C-alpha cells in the first residue's frame, strides 16, 4: 500500500475515485421502502418536510432564481469537529440557512447525520435519489474528514468508514456503503464539491506519516480534472477545526453569486476562498507588533510574539487572529496558542515536532531584534510624552496618587519634546493669521492660560 500512497497522481490513468467505482461497479437498485415501514422515522416525516412550514411559510422574497439547495454532508476519516464548528457559526448561522431565514439565500436542505431526525435507510433516501438523478433540486456535497483508501479495506472484505447500507452486494444483499463510495457516486452530478476542514482539504492528521488507511484529501481523490456540473473544481475551506464562519460565509458567498447579486467569489490556486486565506495569520496577529519591535515570548504564557516558542504564524495562511474562533472571540495567538499550521497542506508533518521554534524564524527574528532595539526606545519616548495632559506640561506636575508615581520628564526630554512639537505643528493651519470672529474676545474666567512657552 505504501506505493498507493506515494505514486504520482499526475501519471496515473485513473483517479482513485474512478478506480473505486470501476471495482464496485454501477448501482441501480435502492432500499425497498415499502418493506422498511417507519423504522428509523420517529417523527413520521423527513427533516426537510418537518421544517417546511417555517422554511416556506410565505412566498420567498425574490432575490434570485434558487429556492432550494440540497446539501449532503459526509464524514470520512473525521472527528466531527468541522460539524461542531459549523454549529457555532453565526455569519450566517446554520439555523438561518436551514430555515430559509437568511434574506436572499435559498433554503438549504441539509442531510447531516448529527442533525437529522430520521435514521437508517430513510435518512439515506435523498442520497439515493441524487444518485438516481431524481432529486427535486440541485445538490452540493460537503465532505468532512479525509477520504480513506477503501479499495484496500474492500479487498479484505471490510471497510474503514461506512455510513449506511444499500442493496449493492451480490444478489442485492445489503452491504455497508463507505463515505468514500458515496462521495465518488455523488460527485459527477453535484453542483459543487466542498471540502471542509484540513482532513478533507489536504488529508490532515489521518493521512499523516505512518497512517494505515491510505487517507487522502478530496482533491487527491477526485483528481485534477474534476469539475462539478457548474464547472467548479473542489472548493477547500481548511482549518483544524475550520472557523465555522469561514465555511458558512463561503457557502453563502457562492449562493449570493448564484442568486445574481453577489460578486464572483475568488478562489486561490488551491481552491481556498481568497478573501479568507490570502493573508498570513501573522499579518493580522494581535502580537505581530511585538515581532516588529523584536520582543519575543520566552515562557509559555508570556504576552509577546510567540515565534520563538513554536509559532509558525508568519508563513501560514489563516484568518483566525482577525476573525476569532467563534462570535469573534478567541483566536490562537489572541489567547496565547502558537500556530501549528493547522490550515496548511503541509499539516501536520511539516510542522512537527510541535513546541519548537521554526528554524527559519532565526534570520527574521535576528533582524527584527536589531530594528526593534532602535524603534522600541523611540516609541517609548513618544509614548511617555503622550501619556501627559497638556495641562500637566503647563503645570510641570502630574497629580497622580497611584503608588507608581509618574516621574516628570528631564530637561533634555522636555526640550526634545518641544522640538518634536515644532516639527509636528510645522504645517498646522491653526498658525495661519486669519481673523477668528466666532467667539468672544475675552476668555471666560479661569480659561486656558497661555502656553508655558
Partner 1 sequence: MCFKTLPVEFDDRGNATLRGGIPNPYDVTVAKPHLARSDVERREGIERLVARNGHIKDMNMDPVTRIAGALAVHVTADLEKGAYLDSHAQATLFRGYEVILMGRDPRDAIFVASRACGVCGGVHAHAAAYAIEQAMGICPPPLGTVVRNMTEAAEMGYDNPLHLYLLAGPDYSEAVIKSSNPELWPLAEKWSCVNEHIHGFKTMADLMTALNPLTGALYREGLEFTRLSREMVVLLTGKYPHPENVVPGGVSTTLTLQTLNEFHSRLGKIFDYAQRMMAVWDDIPAFFYEADDRYQFVGYRPTNHIDPGYWDDPYAYDATYENCNAWGEKRWSTPGVVIDGELVTTRLTDINIGWEEFVEHSYYDESSTSRYSHDMLGNPLSPYHPWNKRTLPKPGARDWKDKYTWACTPRWDRKVVEAGCYSRLLMTAMAQKLPASDFISATGTSMRLLVPKGEVGEREVEWRVPERWNAFERNRGRAYHYLFSQLVALESLLEAYKLMKQGEKRVAALDPSALEKAIPKDERVSVGWWGAGRGWLTHHLVMDKGKITNYQICTPSTINASPRDPWGQPGPYEEAVMNTPIIEDVSDPARFTSIDMLRAIRSFDPCMPCTTHVHTGEGEVVREVNTCSCGGD
Please list every residue from 357 through 386 that binds partner 1, using CB under 8 A: 357
Which is closer to partner 1, CB of 127 or CB of 258? 127
Stretch 196-225: interaction string toward partner 1, x if CB under 8 A: --------xxx-xxxxxx-x----------
Q: Which 20-39 residues touch partner 1, going by CB under 8 A? A: 37-39
State the Cα–Cα distance between residues 328 and 351, nearest whole angstrom: 26
Are 313 and 280 a contacting pair, CB within 8 Å? Answer: yes
Which string of b and e fits 191-213 if b means at least 16 CB within 10 Å? bbbbbbbbbbbbbbbbbeeebeb
Tell me which stretch binds partner 1 (CB under 8 A): 254-262, 325-333, 372-380, 406-414: 325-333
Which is closer to partner 1, CB of 42 or CB of 260? 42
Which is closer to partner 1, CB of 139 or CB of 290? 290
Helix axis angle, 16-24 to 179-186, nearest 10°: 100
Least distance in angstroms from the C-beta of 309 to partner 1: 5
Which string of b and e fits 163-180 if b means at least 16 CB within 10 Å? bbbbbbeeeeeeeebbbb
Are 235 and 249 a contacting pair, CB within 8 Å? Answer: no
Q: Which of 331, 358, 372, 409 binds partner 1 (CB under 8 A)?
A: 331
Q: Could you give phi then psi for residue 392, rounded to 5 degrees? A: -65, -35
Q: Which of 26, 353, 446, 450 binds partner 1 (CB under 8 A)?
A: 353
Which is closer to partner 1, CB of 222 or CB of 306? 306
Q: Which of 50, 135, 137, 315 binds partner 1 (CB under 8 A)?
A: 50
DSSP string, 365-425: HHHHHHHHHHHHHHHHHHHHHHTS-HHHHHHT-----SSSPPPPPPHHHHHHHHHHHHHHT
238: contact with partner 1 by CB under 8 A? no
Q: Which 61-90 residues touch partner 1, going by CB under 8 A? A: 75, 77-85, 87-88, 90
Q: Which of 334, 364, 398, 416 binds partner 1 (CB under 8 A)?
A: 334
Least distance in angstroms from the C-beta of 322 to partner 1: 13
State the Cα–Cα distance between residues 289 and 310, nearest whole angstrom: 17
State the Cα–Cα distance between residues 182 and 184, nearest whole angstrom: 6
State the Cα–Cα distance between residues 100 and 52, nearest whole angstrom: 9
State the Cα–Cα distance between residues 375 and 359, nearest whole angstrom: 25
175-181 contacts: CB < 8 A, separation 24 or more?
178/148, 178/150, 178/153, 179/74, 179/75, 179/76, 179/143, 179/145, 179/147, 179/148, 180/20, 180/76, 180/147, 180/148, 180/149, 180/150, 180/221, 181/20, 181/24, 181/150
Least distance in angstroms from the C-beta of 347 to partner 1: 10
Number of other CB atoms surrounding residue 273 within 10 Å: 21
Q: Which of 29, 352, 366, 413 binds partner 1 (CB under 8 A)?
A: 352
Which is closer to partner 1, CB of 146 or CB of 236? 146
Least distance in angstroms from the C-beta of 205 to partner 1: 4
Which is closer to partner 1, CB of 116 or CB of 189? 116
Least distance in angstroms from the C-beta of 3 to partner 1: 8
- How many positions of this chain bind partner 1 (CB under 8 A)? 106
Half-sphere exposure of 265 (CA within 13 A, CB side): 24
Dig out the grid coordinates for 11 from the structure.
Answer: 501519471
Q: Which of 22, 114, 230, 419 binds partner 1 (CB under 8 A)?
A: 114
Least distance in angstroms from the C-beta of 259 to partner 1: 23
Are 272 and 196 a contacting pair, CB within 8 Å? Answer: no
Number of other CB atoms surrounding residue 303 within 10 Å: 11
Q: Which of 1, 132, 397, 415 binds partner 1 (CB under 8 A)?
A: 1
Tell me which stretch binds partner 1 (CB under 8 A): 41-49, 250-258, 368-376, 408-416: 41-49
Which is closer to partner 1, CB of 52 or CB of 385? 52
Which is closer to partner 1, CB of 9 or CB of 324? 324
* Helical ranges in 259-311 per DSSP H: 274-277, 288-292
Stretch 280-319: interaction string toward partner 1, x if CB under 8 A: ------------------xxxxxx--x-xxx---------
Stretch 136-175: interaction string toward partner 1, x if CB under 8 A: ------------x--xxx-xxxxxxxxxxx--------x-
Are 102 and 55 a contacting pair, CB within 8 Å? Answer: no
Are 248 and 239 a contacting pair, CB within 8 Å? Answer: no
Least distance in angstroms from the C-beta of 430 to partner 1: 38
Amino acid at each position: 500500500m505504501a506505493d498507493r500512497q506515494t505514486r504520482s497522481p499526475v501519471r496515473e490513468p485513473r483517479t482513485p475515485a474512478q478506480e473505486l467505482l470501476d471495482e464496485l461497479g454501477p448501482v441501480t437498485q435502492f432500499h425497498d421502502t415499502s418493506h422498511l415501514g417507519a423504522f428509523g422515522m420517529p417523527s413520521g416525516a423527513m427533516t426537510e418536510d418537518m421544517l417546511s412550514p417555517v422554511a416556506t411559510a410565505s412566498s420567498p422574497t425574490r432575490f434570485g432564481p434558487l429556492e432550494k439547495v440540497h446539501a449532503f454532508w459526509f464524514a470520512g476519516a473525521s472527528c466531527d469537529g468541522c460539524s461542531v464548528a459549523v454549529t457555532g457559526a453565526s455569519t450566517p448561522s446554520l439555523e438561518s440557512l436551514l430555515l430559509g431565514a437568511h434574506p436572499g439565500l435559498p433554503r438549504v436542505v441539509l442531510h447531516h447525520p448529527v442533525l437529522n431526525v430520521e435514521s437508517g435507510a430513510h435518512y439515506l433516501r435523498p442520497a439515493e435519489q441524487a444518485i438516481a438523478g431524481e432529486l427535486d433540486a440541485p445538490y452540493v456535497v460537503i465532505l468532512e474528514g479525509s477520504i480513506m483508501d477503501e479499495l484496500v479495506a474492500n479487498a479484505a472484505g471490510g471497510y474503514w468508514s461506512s455510513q449506511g447500507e444499500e442493496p449493492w452486494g451480490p444478489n442485492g444483499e445489503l452491504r455497508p456503503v463507505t463515505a468514500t463510495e458515496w462521495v465518488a457516486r455523488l460527485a459527477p452530478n453535484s453542483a459543487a464539491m466542498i471540502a471542509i476542514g484540513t482532513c478533507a482539504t489536504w488529508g490532515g492528521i489521518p493521512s499523516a506519516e505512518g497512517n494505515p488507511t491510505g487517507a487522502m484529501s478530496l482533491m487527491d481523490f477526485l483528481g485534477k480534472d474534476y469539475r462539478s456540473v457548474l464547472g467548479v473544481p473542489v472548493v477547500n475551506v481548511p482549518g483544524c477545526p475550520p472557523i465555522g464562519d469561514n465555511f458558512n460565509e463561503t457557502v453563502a458567498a457562492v449562493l449570493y453569486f448564484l442568486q445574481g447579486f453577489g460578486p464572483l467569489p475568488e478562489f486561490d490556486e488551491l481552491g481556498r476562498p481568497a478573501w479568507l486565506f490570502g493573508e498570513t495569520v501573522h499579518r493580522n496577529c494581535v502580537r505581530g507588533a511585538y515581532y516588529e519591535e523584536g520582543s519575543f515570548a520566552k515562557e509559555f504564557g508570556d504576552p509577546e510574539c510567540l515565534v520563538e516558542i513554536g509559532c509558525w504564524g508568519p508563513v501560514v495562511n489563516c484568518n483566525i487572529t482577525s476573525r476569532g474562533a467563534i462570535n469573534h472571540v478567541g483566536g490562537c495567538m489572541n489567547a496565547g496558542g502558537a500556530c501549528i499550521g493547522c490550515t496548511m497542506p503541509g499539516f501536520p508533518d511539516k510542522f512537527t515536532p510541535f513546541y519548537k521554534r521554526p528554524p527559519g524564524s532565526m534570520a527574521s527574528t535576528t533582524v527584527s531584534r536589531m530594528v526593534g532595539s532602535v524603534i522600541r526606545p523611540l516609541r517609548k519616548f513618544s509614548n511617555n510624552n503622550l501619556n501627559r495632559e497638556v495641562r500637566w506640561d503647563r503645570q510641570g506636575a502630574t497629580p497622580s496618587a497611584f503608588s507608581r508615581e509618574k516621574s516628570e520628564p528631564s530637561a533634555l526630554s522636555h526640550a526634545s519634546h518641544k522640538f518634536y512639537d515644532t516639527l509636528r505643528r510645522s504645517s498646522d493651519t491653526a498658525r495661519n493669521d486669519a481673523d477668528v470672529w466666532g467667539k468672544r474676545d475675552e476668555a471666560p474666567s479661569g480659561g486656558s492660560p497661555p502656553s508655558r512657552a
